[in-house]
Chain A
């Protein structure tokens, strides 16, 4: 890779990272796993003057339980998410979705925080955190703030995060009845369409559902019509079929490229909604 010239700095703490970013006067970018940023630098589509390495900040990575919730630190690699016993036990959808990211090299370097901050329209984890109703914890010069995942992803490569903020962690309530289903783009192994579904089930009835899609449009977002079609219904094949049939109906700005046309993506949103719901219901 032949990028433009940059300075490299390593932050020892979140606060130092924020200070270094401020000191870079708009020239700086955070570097964790580098699997979104470095490909852009390689193509010279991104030319940061300073890279601030946050990968080794103590405490910024790792999966833990905190006040009855699960917390994943921003610099946790996809591999560590994929292999976390805690997640496999309490929120298996997260580990499973991580296992479908890219390839082993990508999973060994790429981080959850990086994936969320970049908000690639086809990235897997944004859909998962939206479906989980996760909170994304940010820190900036003015202190801490938490943003709901569904409000975090706002447009193509655009998130609800100030230029001077850093993602610290993601928090969500444990949920077993959740699943992620994905149609792989065979070159990048990003999602042509990926659907994450998290269900609250009681006595065979779906009390409430959160369903999110990625790959289909500009950014990960909820499929509210699917959620509405599930709420209060007996969780059987007919309900799932009916809910999947309306999946993506209101979705705007559907992506179209050599891998999949708009029409095909629209159809796949329904297929993968059904698959995600079916898998979640089986748990």
Chain B
């Protein structure tokens, strides 16, 4: 017998493999929802409220319904007859939220009627022909006034517009008993030698995914099956809710997320348009499509952030922080959506940052206003929390005239303290903060930058240095932490040919799972990368799943896939052992000693026994004879949930310069060191950091959702809502440390949101440093040129 020879395959975990997704995306060969075209498909358009708040007096659909090619026009009241209010993921009481408003409109853009027509253009023409009369009500726009019931109350039964009146968090809070013990917090402030107090706003943002939302719903009356294509981050959750609201069994719905052009959290939600499309398809028995346009996306896709904080920090003059208190007011907009109420509670868990604070207290109130509801947006609660902590720490450093890096170092949680339960309530899995801080300071040449800044200032330039150190929550799970379930599902099939087909419930929308997961399996089975295909985003193909959010793909989805692979691998080893026959025993080995590498299954030191991977795969499907006690075939699956969440961390350092004449802020240096645990593909991790930094810096510098006092969205297009361009940034100088997580066998933590979390406070800290000579202690974002110009010219920020 000859020894089979195979090329030596390199280990792929840790390699910068180019994303296999990119060629189709770059070449326009990807299939998005709008590319789905079905025979007999009709199109939806929604008539939307052009006012922020008002009673619907009258809707006249006559002209619209009379247009040739218009199949159906329904008002909100008519739709409510068969479509119940939308599901909301909050334990608190919540007002009904109908897919289409039928009595009162509560934000600009809220749907009031729907049109079904033969094409999209006609549908829009018909929607424009619907006449709606309102009795306008005052728009509730300021959350602090809203809390006083001013100028009016938005939802009956929710006095003073309180969506969630009061959620305490931190030291001495027993959420189960509902008790609050103030001893620790009071003690901290009684012992304070210095107290920092500041009101800070983490303002409202629009997620602006490159692909807006979209849905195609297809009810097949003969089969009694619904297929729904949607630009979603979580098709399995979509399937569950679409079934529930349509009175169908969940086995009657197949949900497909085709290519998804970005989500950033806003595509976790199941929106009214998804429910209406499915319900009307079921009534009409034909496929229906709705594609959001960009104007609708700004108005009616969930916004992010909008959290106001009153922060008080107590410290000793040597820089030891004794305690910190927060009064948080979340402006959640007009309704609760899936996670609206939960997002600010994630902030509460992050309010001690990377520090060993002796006492932390937060008091959260969530308030209704006449704006688009908020929900998850890249970072979802953690950027807000870290922003408040890192601004407060910076203010303390300035007050004490301490180096901001050294103040942070003094208060770090130490490596030997992990797992560490913070006073804010989270259990941090692992961390080595000082090591990473030192690397960041070295990479930035911190002392050199300070000297450079001082020289620039001596020349009359307005230059500042900022630093922020973040920690965040990734790998969302276990089920106790997520109402949808905190696990993930994966399947691995070795095909007859020896190629591998894997499925994952982590439905990506830009994360690159097809690449990273294939890298993992290639190493696990010792087969070529190109032999592996990763399927996702289709509940008809992927049996179960939760989805992609909270930076959970690698830590939870990746681990689950590896465990499914292990099961198949064990079975494959048995087949290989059977093929090797007594030879295996002769060399004193068992199936457990078999090595999968270079396309072979072999025993170390006995090359003659090696079997080609593909040959073993073929044998498994035609096993003659079938080894005793075995089933044919090579396919298995796994469910897995982590015991807890992972806590990646990092340090971002920025240098900025502000134009004295105009107030324009330019970012001149950006150094980021991030620790996301084990890295599968450094190129993809770098890409995530790049994108995250861009969004985080964007928030600080140029992104802001603005409504006027009547609730009209001023930033309703990219002509007024700025997003960063490459030319806004210097080269990002990236580096990493690796502190593995003990919570999964990969040691991975997560990186999808990291860049967004540290960069925002970093930029604001730098801007405040730059303007410190003008007596500035804090500036609220975004850092509009005019705002900075006013400070420089002696006016108020």
| Pair A261/B786 contact, Cβ less than 8 Å | yes
Query: Is the pair B725, A103 in contact by a Cβ cutoff of 8 Å?
Result: yes
Closest to B701 in A: A186
Contacts of A3 in B (CB 8 A): 121
B662 close to A268 (CB less than 8 A): yes
Chain B: interface secondary structure? loop
B687-701 vs A, CB cutoff 8 Å, 1 = contact: the mask equals: 000000000000001
Q: Which residue of A lies closest to B123 (CB)?
A: A2
Q: Which residues of B contact A267 (CB under 8 A)?
A: 789, 793
In residues 243-273 of chain A, which contact B (Cβ within 8 Å)? 258-261, 264, 267-268, 271
A-chain residues with CB within 8 Å of residue B719 when the two chains form the complex = 39, 187-188, 190
Q: Does A67 contact B (CB under 8 A)?
A: no
A1 CA to B717 CA, complexed, in Å: 13
A242 within 8 A of B: no
Q: Is B239 an interface residue (CB 8 A)?
A: no
Contact with A along B198-216 (1 / 0, CB 8 A): 0000000000000000000
**Chain B residues closer than 8 Å to A44, beta-carbon distance:** 128
Q: Is the CB of B722 within 8 A of A186?
A: yes
Contact of A188 with B293 in the complex, beta carbons under 8 Å: no
CB distance from A275 to the nearest CB of B (A): 8
Closest-by-CB residue of A relative to B124 is: A2
Tell me if B718 counts as interface (CB < 8 A to partner A): yes
Contacting A at CB under 8 A, from B85-100, are none
The answer to whether B121 touches A5 (Cβ under 8 A) is: yes
Given known A186-B702, A188-B719, A261-B786, contact A43–B295 (CB-CB < 8 A): yes
Inter-chain CA distance A143–B790, complex, in Å, is 52
| A:85-135 near B, CB below 8 Å | 103
B110-122 vs A, CB cutoff 8 Å, 1 = contact: the mask equals: 0000000000110
Residue A183 interfacial (CB < 8 Å):
yes
Given A268-B662, A271-B661, A187 contacting B718 (CB threshold 8 A): yes
Write the chain A residue with the least CB distance to B128.
Answer: A44
Nearest chain A CB to B738 CB, angstrom units = 37
Contacts of B722 in A (CB 8 A): 185-187
Using CB atoms, name the residue of chain B closest to A260: B786
- Pairwise interchain contact A258-B720, C-beta atoms closer than 8 A: yes
Shortest CB–CB separation between residue A210 and chain B, in angstroms? 23
| CB nearest to B793 among chain A residues | A267
> Is A13 at the interface (CB under 8 A from chain B)?
no
Q: Let me know if A4 is at the binding interface, CB within 8 A.
A: yes
In the complex, per-residue mask of A1-15: 1 if CB is within 8 Å of any chain B CB, else 0? 111110000000000
Tell me whether A187 and B720 are in contact (CB under 8 A): yes
Contact among B702, B721, B723, B786 for A264, CB-based, below 8 A = B786
- Residue among A2, A44, A187 with the highest chain B CB neighbour number at 10 A: A2
Is B714 in contact with A258, judged by CB distance below 8 angstroms? yes
Q: How far is the CB of A190 from chain B (nearest CB, A)?
A: 8
Are A183 and B664 in contact (CB-based, < 8 A)? yes
Interface size range on B against A: 20 to 34
Q: Are A258 and B706 in contact (CB under 8 A)?
A: yes
B513 to chain A, nearest CB (A): 30
Instruction: List the A side residues contacting B786 at CB < 8 Å.
Output: 259-261, 264
* Minimum CB–CB distance for B216 against chain A, Å: 17
CB distance from B424 to the nearest CB of A (A): 35
Cα–Cα distance between A103 and B718 once the two chains are bound (Å): 12
List, in ascending order, chain B residues with CB within 8 A of A39's CB: 719
A258 in complex: contacting residue of B715, B717, B728, CB < 8 Å: B715
Q: Say yes or no for B125: interface residue by CB 8 A criterion.
A: yes
Asked if B293 and A2 sit within 8 Å, CB to CB, the answer is: yes
Smallest beta-carbon distance A271→chain B, Å: 5
Q: How far is the CA of A261 from the CA of B785 in the complex (A)?
A: 11
Which residues of chain B have C-beta atoms less than 8 A from A259's C-beta? 720, 784, 786
A37 to B658, CA, bound (A): 36
How many Å from the CB of B293 to the closest CB on chain A? 6
* A 180-211 binary contact with B (CB < 8 Å = 1; else 0): 00010111101000000000000000000000
Assuming the A-B contacts A264-B786, A264-B789, are A187 and B293 also in contact, with contact meaning beta carbons closer than 8 angstroms in the complex? no
List of A residues within 8 angstroms of B720 by Cβ: 187-188, 258-259
Give the distance in Å from the alpha carbon of A188 to the alpha carbon of B756 in the complex: 23
Docked pose: A268 CA to B664 CA in angstroms: 12
Contacts of B661 in A (CB 8 A): 271
Measured in the bound complex, the distance between the Cα atoms of B720 and A183 in whole Å is 15
- B128 contact set on A, CB distance < 8 A: 44
Q: Chain A residues with Cβ under 8 A from B295's Cβ?
A: 43
A43 to B719, CA, bound (A): 12
Name the residue on B nearest A44 (C-beta).
B128
What residue of chain A has the Cβ atom nearest to residue B663's Cβ?
A: A264
A172 to B125, CA, bound (A): 45
Contacts of B664 in A (CB 8 A): 183
The complex places the Cα of A29 from the Cα of B793 at a distance, in Å, of 46
A2 and B725: CB pair below 8 A? no
Q: How far is the CB of A150 from chain B (nearest CB, A)?
A: 27
CA distance A12 to B121 in the complex (A): 29
A267 and B714 CA atoms in complex are apart in Å by 24
> How many angstroms from the CA of A127 to the CA of B789 in the assembled complex?
25
- Report yes or no: A271 in contact with B662, Cβ–Cβ below 8 A: yes
Q: How far does the alpha carbon of A39 sit from the alpha carbon of B719 in the complex, in Å? A: 10
Which residues from chain B contact A187 at a C-beta distance below 8 Å?
A: 702, 715, 718-723
Within 8 A of A (CB), among B405-443: none
Chain A's closest residue to B790 (CB) is: A264
Q: Determine how close the nearest CB of chain B comes to the CB of A65; give it in whole angstroms.
A: 33
Inter-chain CA distance A188–B723, complex, in Å, is: 10
For the complex formed, measure the closest distance between the CB of B69 and the CB atoms of chain A, giving whole angstroms. Answer: 12
> Are B125 and A4 in touch, CB under 8 angstroms?
yes
Query: Please, what's the 1-or-0 string for A29-53, where 1 marks a CB less than 8 Å from any CB in chain B?
Result: 0000000000100111000000000
- B723: chain A residues at CB < 8 Å are 187
* Cβ < 8 Å to A, chain B residues 645-691: 661-662, 664
Cβ contacts under 8 Å, A264 to chain B = 785-786, 789-790
Q: Give the residues in chain A near B725, CB-CB below 8 Å.
A: 103
Contacts of B715 in A (CB 8 A): 187, 258
Q: In chain B, residues 116-161, which have Cβ atoms closer than 8 Å to a Cβ of chain A?
A: 120-121, 124-125, 128
User: Complex Cα distance A56/B314, Å?
Assistant: 70
The complex places the Cα of A267 from the Cα of B702 at a distance, in Å, of 21
Please give the distance in Å from A4's CB to the nearest CB on chain B. 7
Say yes or no: A2 contacts B662, CB within 8 Å: no
Q: Specify which chain B residues have a CB less than 8 angstroms from the CB of A185 in the assembled complex.
A: 722
Interface string of B774-797 (1 = CB under 8 A from A): 000000000011100110010000
Closest to A193 in B: B662
Instruction: Give the shortest distance, in Å, between A106 (CB) and chain B (any CB).
Output: 11
Q: A5-B125, A259-B784, A260-B786 are in contact. List 11 more A-B contacts (CB 8 A).
A: A2-B293, A4-B125, A42-B293, A44-B128, A185-B722, A186-B701, A187-B702, A187-B719, A258-B706, A264-B785, A271-B661
Query: Which B residues contact A (CB, under 8 angstroms)?
Result: 120-121, 124-125, 128, 293, 295, 661-662, 664, 701-702, 706, 714-715, 717-723, 725, 728, 784-786, 789-790, 793
Q: What 6 A-B pairs are tightest by C-beta distance, nearest first?
A: A187-B722, A186-B722, A188-B719, A264-B786, A271-B661, A186-B702
Taking Cβ atoms with an 8 Å cutoff, the residues of A that contact B are 1-5, 39, 42-44, 103, 183, 185-188, 190, 258-261, 264, 267-268, 271
**Would you list 6 pairs from A and B whose C-beta atoms are within 8 A, ordered by A residue?**
A1-B293, A4-B121, A185-B722, A188-B720, A258-B715, A264-B786
